[in-house]
């Protein structure tokens, strides 16, 4: 009887810890991170170390983990979430950041200067950062 009680007690105490360690909240979960006038709707912490907004320049800078500096980044600007995309000066709706263009580990790279309501950053076909202008 004591063995059953101890087993149930241990399961009750450690089950929540195991559940959090096994999955918990996903890396691409809705975020409450704020960068200047932008709120992160998606922030993949496995790719991004930080995002910085410089108010004097009105630029948004990314800081990628070194494992991702070799990856191509696609940036999209829009008036609405995943809709009504803005055209870039070159004529397309996507701006491609070339792979490893002198990006130093933990350096701030790939800045965007825009007044768009939404900024989307894509890598390998998935959004890893989605910003919404809230101010």
Helix (H) or strand (E) holding 64: strand 59-64
Residue 20 in any domain: the answer is no
Residue 70 in any domain: the answer is yes
Q: How many domains does the chain have?
A: 1
Range of the domain at 116: 27-133
Residue 81 in any domain: the answer is yes
Residue 18 in any domain: the answer is no
* pLDDT 10s digits, 81-100: 999 999 998 899 999 987 65
Residue 11 in any domain: the answer is no
Predicted model pTM: 0.73
* pLDDT 10s digits, 7-55: 443 444 444 433 433 333 334 445 579 999 999 999 999 999 999 999 9
């Amino acid at each position: 009887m004591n063995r059953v009680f101890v087993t149930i007690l241990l399961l009750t105490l450690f089950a929540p810890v195991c559940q959090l360690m096994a999955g918990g909240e996903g890396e691409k979960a809705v975020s409450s991170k704020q960068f200047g006038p932008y709120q992160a709707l998606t922030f993949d912490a496995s790719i991004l170390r930080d995002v910085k907004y410089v108010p004097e320049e009105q630029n948004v800078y990314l800081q990628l983990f070194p494992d991702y500096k070799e990856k191509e980044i696609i940036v999209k600007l829009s008036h609405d979430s995943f809709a009504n995309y803005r055209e870039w000066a070159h004529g397309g709706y996507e701006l491609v950041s070339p792979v490893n263009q002198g990006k130093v580990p933990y350096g701030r790279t790939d800045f965007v200067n825009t007044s768009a309501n939404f900024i989307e950053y894509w890598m390998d076909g998935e959004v890893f950062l989605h910003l919404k202008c809230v101010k």
